[in-house]
C-alpha cells in the first residue's frame, strides 16, 4: 500500500515504548501540556516481576509528579542490611540508605504498580488526552535533515502498524506456563520480534498510519527498534555469570529473610535477598550449573524454576528454604553495554535500556531509565512549546551518557563482588574479602541512591566560578557562578530538601515540595535578613531589576501568561517569622497580585522552627549566609544551575538568555 | 398498594443517610465484611461548602481506614492562630493544635472531598458490594419487639420509596441561583421535605420495597426522619445569634488572612477566618442586622450573600475585603440540642446531627458525627456477625451521649464568647475580655482535637482498679485493671501513637498504624526485656495460657479462621533489636505460622532507635516498665479497654468473656 493513501497525523512528541522510561517522558508531556502520543507493541501492562528497587532520588522525582505518597505507602521499606556472610553468620549490619541523604529512603515495589501510578498521573494531568496506545508497532522512521533546525517543523516521519490483540500478546502469556516469567524479555533472548510481528500483520490492509512528529523518544528497551532504525549500537561485553531471579513467599527459618542481604556460600555461589511488598521476597541466585557456550551464550532451555530454586536452597543450607507461591521468575546473563549515540540530530532520542544495559541486582535499571527521561522530558516538552532554545537539547546526551558510564562501571564492580567466591583467608587474593565487599556495599549505597549525580558544565550548568579561586579553567564568556554563596547547593546536583515554613500560614514544607515538575524554571531568592534595612535595600534592588519590562523574566513570559508561568520566583528569608509581614516587607514580584484571586500567598517562606515538625535549619544546611542570602537558579528537574549574589542580576540574566527563547 | 405485593429483601444493616456519619458506618461494614445498604434521599453528592474542619482524632481514624494520606495531602493545614483582636491589632499567636498531642494536626478540607474518600474506600473494601443508593427515601419503620433479643432475627422492617431524578434534586440546585448555598439544609429551615416528596411520588406505582434488617442506623441529619419515626426528640434551645458563612477567595490587605483567627469589632460584631484549600477562605460572620422574631425564628428571606459580606467588610474595616469568586454560602441560628434517646432496643440507632446539633464554628460537627459512627459501626458489625454479644451495643449510648453533652456545652461557651461584644475595660463585666477569650480558645483546642474523650466504665472499659489505691468504688465482680502499669495508656482513652520498629525488617511504624479498622480486638503484649531469663519465663507462661485450646483466644476464634482473626496479638519488646531474633526468642503465638506463607513477620516490634526517623521511646511514653512490661487490651476503635500484668491472664480472659461470643 502506498504511503499517499495512508492516514497522516501530526504530533509534537511521539514516545515509543510504555515502560517506566516512556511513561516518565509522557508524564512530562502531560505536566507541560504538550501534545504527545505514546505507543507500545505489547497489549498488556506488567502485573508482576520485572524491576523493583526504587532509589531515594526516584521517590523525590515521583513526589515532584505528585505520587510519591502512593509508592511510599505500598512499598516495602528497606532499612538495614545484615552484612555479607561467609558461612552464613551475620558479618555486619548497615543501614540501607545513608541517614540524612534524602527525605526518602530506598524502597521496593514492583514495576507494575509504578506503571499504574504513572498511568493515573498522566491521565489526570493530560486531562485524558495522553493514553498508551497498545498493540502499535513502528515500521519505519525517517528524519528530514533539511528541517532539523527549524523550530516549527515536524521533521520526523514514523510509519506505525496497528496489531491485532493476538499479535500483541507477549509469548509467555500465550503459553501454558502457570507461573509468569520474564525470559522473553531477558537478555538471554537475542532476537527481536518486530520483524515477525510485521510479517504476520502484512496481509491485513488498513492497519498503517503515518505520524509526523517534532520529536521522537525511543524507550523501547535493550533490543530497541528505534536504536536499530537509527543505525546505532550498544557497545560492551557479556560475562560468564548467569543469575536466576525468583519472586516467592518464602517458608524458611533463615532469620534475616525480611532484610536485604547477600549470602556468599563457600562453594555453591551467591544469593541476594530483597524483601518486598505482600510477603514476597525476591531472590537473586547465582547459577553455577549453567555455563555459556563457546559463542558466549547460555542454553536457556536448561533454565527452569526448579533449577534456580535448587541452587538457592544449596546456597542457604543449613537453613531451610521452601515456597508454595511463586509470583514470577526469570534469568539473565551479566553484561554491561552503553549506546554509541543517545540522539540523532536532537530530534530522535534514545533512553533507558535502549542506551544502557547491565545486571538488575543493584536495583538501578528502572531508576536510571526513568531518570534519563526525567532529564530529557522537560527539555523536549519546552523545546516543542518554543520555551527553551534547541541548544538545550544536546545537554541530554552530555549529562546522561556520563551517568550511563558510571552505572555500568558500578555494575561491573558490584557484579564481580557478588559473583566471585569469598576469600578463604587473607592470602587468597583471588577470592573476595568480606571487608572489600562491605566497603563496596557502602560506597554503592551512595551511588545507588541516585543523589551523587553531578551534571557537567553546559548552557544549563553555570559551573564557571566567579569566586576567583575555585576554578582555574574560568572562561570569561561563560556565565559566572558563585558556588561559595550556597555551599550546600552544588551546581550540577539536585536541590536538596529541608523544611521551611510558609510565611503566610506557618505551614512547614519540605522545600522540594515547592519544586513540582510543571516545566517551570525557578529562581530561589534567599532574601536573608529582610528586616535589616541594608539587606532590604539589596532585595528591593534585585526585585526592581526583575520587575522591569525589559528584564529576562518579562521577556521570557508570553504577554498573555502570568508572570510566574515560565520562571517562578520563590523566596526564603531568615528574619523572625512573627515580626515579618508578607504584604509589608516583600516586594510585589515575590507574591504577585492577580485581579481575580488577590495576592499569591504560596511563594514566600521562612527558615524558622515549626510547631510540630521541628526546625529545618535551611540556611545552615544550604550553606547560605543568614544575613546576606544569595540567588539560586533551578532547572525544571530540580538541578541547581546557577548561584550568585543579589547584585549578580546581569549574570542571572545571561544564564537565562542562554536557555530561554525571549519574546 | 399492599405490602404483600412489594419486593422484600433482607440485609444485616441498613444505613439511612450518606453524609460523613452514614459513610463512616458503611465503611465499618465494608471493612468488617458485613452485608449492608446505605440510602440517601438526595441524588447528588456535596461538591462545596458544608463542614470543613478535621480534628486530629478524625485524621487518626481516617488513617485506620486507610485514607488519611489523601486528606493530609489535599487539605489546608492550620498551624497558628493570631489571637483574638479588639481593634484589629493582633493580640496573640497560639498554635492551632497543641504540639505533641497527636501525629496529625487539625486540617481543613471540605466535606465533599471527605465523602469522595469514603466512597472510594467503601468501594474498595466492600469489593463494590456497598454503594450509596441515592434518591431512596424511607416511608415507614417498624420494630418487632418480640425478636429484638434474638441474634438471628431481622426485627426491623423499613419500607423504602425510590424517587425520580427530579424529586431527589435538592431545591437549591434546581433554583436559578448562581452561587451554591446551603440554606435548604440550614437550621433556619424548619420543615422536612420527606412528606412532600412522598406525596409527589405517590401516583407512581412500583417504586416501593420492603427491607428486613437486623440493624438500622439513622444518620439523616438534624431533621432526622428516623428520629421522628421512633418518636424521639432533640432537646435544647435556640439563641438570638444569627451567623452567616461564606467560602470565598478573598482579595484583601488583611495580613492574617491565611491564619485561622477571630476578629472582635467594637460595635459591628465578630468574624472568624478559616483558611482553606485552593486559595479559599471560610468566613463566619455575625449578622447583627438580622434578629429573630417573637417566636424565636429569623426571616430567612432577608439573608443574602450581599448582606453577609457587607457585615464582614464592616467588621474588618479599616482593612479592605473583596472577592470575585464565592464557592458557597449559608446562614444559621446558634442553638444547642441533644437527642432524648440514641437507640431503640439497640436495634435502631441514631448518630450525628440526628442526636446533637450545635453551631458549626468550632469545627466539631462533622468530626463528632463521624466519631459517633466510628464508635457504633464496629459494634453493630460485630454483633451482626455474631462476634460480640449484644450487650456491647448499649455502650454506644452511654459513651456517645456524654460526648454530645460535652460538645454542646463547649459550643455554648464558645458561641457566647464569639457572639458577645469585647469588654471596653476591666470594669466592663458584660463584655468579653481578651484574656477570657484566649483561655477558652486554648482549652477549646484540646477538646476540639477529639483526643480528650474518656469513655466511662462498661463491659468494654475495665476501669475498676486492682491497684488497690486508685479507686474506692471498686467492685469485686467487675474485671480488674492495673492502670499503674501503663500510665500513658489511660483506660477509656484512645491508644496514643509512638514509633516502634518491626523486629524482622527494622522498619519504623507509628504504632497506631498497626491498629487498623478491620474489626479486630487486639492484645498488645509489652514483653519487656525478653533477653532476661526471668522475664522470658513470664512471657512464655502468658503465651502458653493464650495458646491453650481452652483459652478465650481459641474459643473466640471460629475453627475455620486464622488465630488472629478475632483478637490479634501484637508485641512490643524493649531488648536490643540486633541481639534478639524473632524465631528464636518469641513464642509462636506471637508470630503465627501459616502453612502457605510461613511465619508472620508483621506482629513483633521493638522500642528502639531508627535509622531515619528518630526514637519513639515508646515504653517511656506509654509509661510501661522496660523490664517487666504489661498487657493491654485494645478495642477495634483503638480505645484502651484493659491493662494488667502478664500474670493477670484470668482478668484478661474475663474481660473478653464479657464481650465476645465464645464458640
Domains, chain A, with CATH or none: 3-75+105-236+335-410 (3.50.50.60), 238-332 (3.30.9.10), 465-657 (3.40.30.20)
Average pLDDT of chain B is: 87
- ipTM confidence: 0.73
Report the pLDDT value the prediction gives residue B644, as an integer from 0 to 100.
97
Report the pLDDT value the prediction gives residue B479, as an integer from 0 to 100.
93
Report the pLDDT value the prediction gives residue B176, as an integer from 0 to 100.
44
Give A314 to chain B, closest Cα distance, Å. Answer: 20
Cell digits of residue A577: 517569622
Report the pLDDT value the prediction gives residue B80, as an integer from 0 to 100.
62
Mean per-residue pLDDT, B44-52: 62
**Pick among B507, B509, B584, B588 to test the A interface (most A CBs inside 10 A):** B507
Report the pLDDT value the prediction gives residue A175, as an integer from 0 to 100.
43
Residues 6+ apart with CB under 8 A from A539: A525, A527, A528, A530, A586, A587, A629, A646
Of residues B590 and A614, the one with the higher pLDDT is B590
Report the pLDDT value the prediction gives residue B2, as an integer from 0 to 100.
47
Residues 6+ apart with CB under 8 A from A447: A406, A410
Q: Which helix (H) or strand (E) holds B418?
A: helix B395-419
Residue A174 binned pLDDT confidence (cut-offs 50, 70, 90):
very low
Residue A1 binned pLDDT confidence (cut-offs 50, 70, 90):
very low
Task: Report whether B328 contacts B180 (CB < 8 A).
Answer: yes
Report the pLDDT value the prediction gives residue A170, as an integer from 0 to 100.
63
Residue A563 has pLDDT above 70, yes or no: yes
Report the pLDDT value the prediction gives residue A178, as an integer from 0 to 100.
64
Judged by average pLDDT, the poorest of A261-265, A601-605, A628-632 is: A261-265
Is B52 an active-site residue?
yes
Give B616 to chain A, closest Cα distance, Å. Answer: 14
Query: How many angstroms separate the CA atoms of B274 and B285, rounded?
Result: 11
Interface touch B73/A69, C-beta < 8 Å: yes
Interface touch A258/B504, C-beta < 8 Å: yes
Residue A601 binned pLDDT confidence (cut-offs 50, 70, 90):
very high
Q: What angle do CA A559, A563, A569 make, to 5 degrees?
A: 155
Of residues B359 and A221, the one with the higher pLDDT is A221
Report the pLDDT value the prediction gives residue B428, as an integer from 0 to 100.
75
Q: Which of B251, B257, B505 sits opposite A259 (nearest CB)?
A: B505
Q: Tell me what percent of the residues of chain B surpass a pLDDT of 70.
A: 89
Report the pLDDT value the prediction gives residue B489, as an integer from 0 to 100.
97
Query: How many angstroms separate the CA atoms of A28 and A17, rounded?
Result: 15
List pLDDT tens digits, range B150-188.
999 999 999 999 987 777 776 654 444 567 777 766 666
Mean per-residue pLDDT, B1-25: 87
Report the pLDDT value the prediction gives residue B76, as an integer from 0 to 100.
73
Mean per-residue pLDDT, A254-277: 85
- What separation in angstroms does the CA of B203 have from each of A459, B164, B587? 77, 12, 68
Query: How many angstroms separate the CA atoms of B656 and B644, rounded?
Result: 13
Give A606 to chain B, closest Cα distance, Å. Answer: 14
Judged by average pLDDT, the poorest of A341-350, B20-29, B444-453 is: B444-453
Residue B74 has pLDDT above 70, yes or no: yes
Residue B117 has pLDDT above 80, yes or no: yes
**SS3 call for A393:** helix
Of residues B227 and B43, the one with the higher pLDDT is B227
B contacts of A252 (beta carbons < 8 Å): 598
Interface touch A324/B257, C-beta < 8 Å: no
In this structure, how many other beta carbons lie within 10 angstroms of the beta carbon of residue A241? 24
Mean per-residue pLDDT, B196-208: 71
Q: Which of B69, B250, B582 sits opposite A69 (nearest CB)?
A: B69
Residue B469 has pLDDT above 70, yes or no: no
Q: Which of B84, B155, B360, B508 is catalytic?
A: B360
Question: Phi/psi of residue B207, each to 5°?
Answer: -100, 0
The sign of the dihedral angle between the CA atoms of B475, B476, B482, B484 is positive
Judged by average pLDDT, the poorest of A218-222, A424-428, B67-71 is: A424-428
pTM: 0.82
Which stretches does DSSP call E strand in B112-155? 132-134, 136-143
Of residues A471 and B188, the one with the higher pLDDT is B188
Of residues A650 and B76, the one with the higher pLDDT is A650
Give the full edge-to-edge strand order of the sheet including B76-77: B53-54, B107-108, B76-77
List pLDDT tens digits, range B622-643.
999 999 999 999 999 999 999 9
Tell me which chain A residue has its CA closest to the CA of residue B596.
Answer: A324
Tell me which chain A residue has its CA closest to the CA of residue B581.
Answer: A255
Mean per-residue pLDDT, A79-95: 60
Question: Phi/psi of residue B124, each to 5°?
Answer: -65, -50
Mean per-residue pLDDT, A458-463: 95
C-alpha torsion B268→B272→B278→B279, nearest 10: 50
According to the per-residue pLDDT averaged within each range, which of A2-16, A542-556, B261-275, B334-348 is highest? A542-556
Residue A487 binned pLDDT confidence (cut-offs 50, 70, 90):
very high
Residue B295 has pLDDT above 70, yes or no: yes
Interface touch B93/A578, C-beta < 8 Å: yes
Interface touch A601/B507, C-beta < 8 Å: no
Tell me which chain A residue has its CA closest to the CA of residue B614.
Answer: A99
- Show which residues of A are catalytic: 52, 276, 284, 360
Is B7 an active-site residue?
no
B contacts of A250 (beta carbons < 8 Å): 598
Report the pLDDT value the prediction gives residue B437, as an integer from 0 to 100.
73
Interface touch A578/B507, C-beta < 8 Å: no
B contacts of A124 (beta carbons < 8 Å): none
Q: Which of B85, B260, B284, B421 is catalytic?
A: B284
Q: What angle do CA A478, A480, A482 make, to 5 degrees?
A: 155
Give A95 to chain B, closest Cα distance, Å. Answer: 7
Can you tell me which residue has the cell 452514614?
Answer: B22
Cβ burial, residue B477 (10 Å; 0-12/13-18/19+): exposed
Interface touch A506/B259, C-beta < 8 Å: yes
Report the pLDDT value the prediction gives residue A443, as an integer from 0 to 100.
74
List pLDDT tens digits, range A503-521.
999 899 999 999 999 999 9
Give B321 to chain A, closest Cα distance, Å. Answer: 10
Question: Phi/psi of residue A240, each to 5°?
Answer: -85, -5
Residue A176 binned pLDDT confidence (cut-offs 50, 70, 90):
very low
**Pick among B598, B602, B603 to test the A interface (most A CBs inside 10 A):** B598
Question: Buried b vs exposed e over B379-389: b needs ≥16 C-beta within 10 Å?
Answer: bbbbbbbebbb
Q: Which of B105, B506, B611 sits opposite A99 (nearest CB)?
A: B611
List pLDDT tens digits, range B433-446.
777 777 777 777 77
Residue A609 has pLDDT above 70, yes or no: yes
Interface touch A612/B255, C-beta < 8 Å: no
Report the pLDDT value the prediction gives residue A198, as an integer from 0 to 100.
73
Identify any residues that bridge with A501 across adjacent strands, giving them in sequence order.
Answer: A508, A606
Residue B47 has pLDDT above 80, yes or no: no
Mean per-residue pLDDT, A440-463: 86
Amino acid at each position: 500500500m502506498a504511503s499517499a493513501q495512508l492516514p497522516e497525523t501530526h504530533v509534537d512528541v511521539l514516545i515509543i515504548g510504555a515502560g517506566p522510561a516512556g511513561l516518565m517522558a509522557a508524564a512530562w508531556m502531560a505536566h507541560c501540556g504538550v501534545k504527545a502520543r505514546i505507543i507500545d507493541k505489547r497489549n498488556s501492562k506488567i502485573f508482576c516481576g520485572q524491576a523493583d528497587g526504587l532509589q531515594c532520588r526516584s521517590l523525590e522525582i515521583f513526589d515532584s509528579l505528585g505520587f510519591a505518597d502512593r509508592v511510599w505507602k505500598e512499598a516495602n521499606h528497606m532499612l538495614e542490611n545484615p552484612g555479607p556472610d561467609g558461612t552464613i553468620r551475620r558479618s555486619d549490619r548497615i543501614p540501607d540508605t545513608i541517614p540524612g541523604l534524602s527525605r526518602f529512603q530506598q524502597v521496593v515495589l514492583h514495576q507494575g504498580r509504578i506503571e499504574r501510578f504513572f498511568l493515573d498521573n498522566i491521565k489526570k494531568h493530560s486531562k485524558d488526552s495522553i493514553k498508551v496506545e497498545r498493540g502499535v508497532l513502528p515500521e519505519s522512521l525517517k528524519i528530514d535533515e533539511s528541517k532539523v533546525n527549524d523550530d516549527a517543523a515536524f521533521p520526523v516521519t514514523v510509519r506505525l502498524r496497528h496489531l491485532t490483540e493476538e499479535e500483541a500478546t507477549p509469548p509467555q502469556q500465550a503459553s501454558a506456563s502457570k507461573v509468569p516469567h520474564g525470559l522473553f524479555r531477558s537478555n538471554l533472548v537475542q532476537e527481536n520480534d518486530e520483524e515477525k510481528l510485521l510479517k504476520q500483520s502484512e496481509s491485513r490492509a488498513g492497519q498503517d498510519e503515518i505520524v509526523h512528529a517534532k520529536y521522537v523518544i525511543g524507550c523501547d528497551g535493550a533490543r530497541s527498534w528505534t536504536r536499530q532504525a537509527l543505525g546505532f549500537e550498544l557497545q560492551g561485553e557479556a560475562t560468564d555469570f548467569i543469575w536466576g531471579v525468583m519472586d516467592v513467599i518464602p517458608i524458611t527459618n533463615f532469620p534475616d529473610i525480611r532484610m536485604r542481604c547477600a549470602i556468599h556460600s563457600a562453594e555453591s555461589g551467591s544469593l541476594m535477598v530483597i524483601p518486598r511488598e505482600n510477603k514476597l521476597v525476591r531472590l537473586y541466585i547465582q547459577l553455577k550449573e549453567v555455563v555459556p557456550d563457546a559463542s558466549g551464550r547460555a542454553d536457556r532451555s536448561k533454565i527452569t524454576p526448579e533449577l534456580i530454586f535448587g541452587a538457592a536452597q544449596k546456597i542457604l543450607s543449613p537453613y531451610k528454604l521452601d515456597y508454595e507461591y511463586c509470583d514470577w521468575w526469570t534469568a539473565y546473563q551479566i553484561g554491561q553495554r552503553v549506546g554509541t549515540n543517545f540522539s540523532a540530530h536532537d530530534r530522535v532520542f534514545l533512553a533507558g535500556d535502549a542506551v544502557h544495559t547491565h545486571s538488575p541486582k543493584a536495583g538501578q535499571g528502572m531508576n536510571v531509565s526513568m531518570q534519563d527521561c526525567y532529564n530529557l522530558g522537560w527539555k523536549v516538552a519546552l523545546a516543542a512549546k518554543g520555551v527553551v532554545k534547541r541548544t538545550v537539547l544536546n545537554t541530554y546526551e552530555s549529562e546522561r551518557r556520563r551517568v550511563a558510564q558510571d552505572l555500568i562501571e558500578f555494575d561491573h564492580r558490584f557484579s564481580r563482588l557478588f559473583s566471585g567466591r569469598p576469600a578463604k583467608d587473607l592470602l587468597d587474593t583471588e577470592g573476595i574479602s568480606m571487608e572489600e565487599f562491605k566497603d563496596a556495599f557502602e560506597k554503592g549505597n551512595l551511588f545507588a541512591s541516585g543523589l551523587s549525580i553531578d551534571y557537567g558544565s553546559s548552557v544549563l550548568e553555570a559551573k564557571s566560578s566567579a569566586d576567583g579561586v575555585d576554578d582555574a579553567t574560568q572562561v570569561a564568556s561563560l556565565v559566572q557562578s558563585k558556588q561559595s554563596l550556597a555551599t550546600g547547593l552544588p551546581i550540577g546536583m539536585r536541590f536538596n530538601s529541608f523544611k521551611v515554613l510558609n510565611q503566610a500560614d506557618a505551614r512547614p514544607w519540605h522545600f522540594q515540595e515547592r519544586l513540582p515538575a510543571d516545566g517551570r524554571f525557578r529562581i530561589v531568592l534567599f532574601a536573608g535578613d529582610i528586616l535589616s534595612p541594608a539587606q532590604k535595600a539589596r532585595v528591593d534592588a534585585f526585585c526592581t531589576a526583575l520587575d522591569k519590562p525589559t528584564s529576562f523574566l518579562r521577556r521570557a513570559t508570553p504577554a498573555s501568561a502570568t508572570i510566574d508561568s515560565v520562571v517562578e520566583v520563590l523566596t526564603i528569608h531568615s528574619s523572625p517569622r512573627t515580626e515579618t509581614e508578607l504584604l509589608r516587607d516583600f516586594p510585589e514580584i515575590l507574591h504577585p497580585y492577580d485581579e481575580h484571586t488577590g495576592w499569591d500567598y504560596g511563594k514566600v517562606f521562612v527558615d524558622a522552627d515549626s510547631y510540630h515538625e521541628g526546625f529545618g535549619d535551611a540556611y545552615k544546611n544550604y550553606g547560605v549566609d543568614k544575613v546576606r542570602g544569595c540567588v539560586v537558579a533551578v532547572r525544571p528537574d530540580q538541578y541547581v544551575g546557577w548561584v550568585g549574589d543579589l547584585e549578580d542580576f546581569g549574570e542571572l540574566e545571561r544564564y537565562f538568555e542562554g536557555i530561554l527563547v525571549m519574546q
